[in-house]
Structure 1
């Protein structure tokens, strides 16, 4: 897998390290991104995504004639 280098503000890197409980900014960002992606997948599995909107849309009410 390829590597990407990203520059972060020092305060942001420290905050990420504190939130993730790591000693390395690299590990902190990796953990936070992995967690974000996993949470997104779980949310989509529970709520669906944009393509589900058509399936869940209610049919237009049919006017009764009489």
Structure 2
């Protein structure tokens, strides 16, 4: 009997500060969109390198007077 593993769900993030992917050694630049697993994204989010795509869109659409 085989059990199915749940599909790994990658989420989209926007790069806020340049960082190097530890697996591929590729540099992602500010504004790039990347798809990561939640476990891959945790440290990058805590260090301010990435933000979820929806959070990045909200901050980009704010006007000067909003906080």
Q: Which structure carries more relative contact order (alpha carbon 8 Å, separation 6+)?
A: 2
Q: How does the TM-score come out when normalised to structure 1?
A: 0.24
Q: Which has the larger radius of gyration?
A: 1
Which has more strand, going by share of residues?
A: 2
Structure richer in helix, relative to its length: 1
TM-score with structure 2 setting the length: 0.24
